[in-house]
Amino acid sequence: MRGFTLIELLVSMTVISILISLAAPEISNIRKRGFDLSAKNFIRSVALKLEDYFIENDTYFSCHDQGCNDFLRPNKVPNGILVSVEAREEGYTIKAKHQRGTGKEYVFDSERGGFLN
Domain of 78 in residue numbering reads as 6-115
Q: Quick check: is 65 in a domain?
A: yes
pLDDT value at residue 1: 59
Q: Quick check: is 13 in a domain?
A: yes
pLDDT value at residue 42: 94
pLDDT value at residue 54: 93
| CA 24 remoteness from chain centre | 20
Q: What is the pLDDT along the chain (117 residues), one digit of tens a residue?
A: 577 898 999 999 999 999 988 888 888 899 999 999 999 999 999 999 999 999 999 999 999 988 888 888 887 899 999 999 999 989 999 999 999 999 999 999 999 989 997
Q: Quick check: is 1 in a domain?
A: no
Q: Quick check: is 57 in a domain?
A: yes
Full-prediction pTM beyond 0.85? no
Q: Which residues of 75-88 are buried (b: 16+ CB within 10 A; e: fewer)?
A: eebeeebebbbebe
Q: Quick check: is 88 in a domain?
A: yes
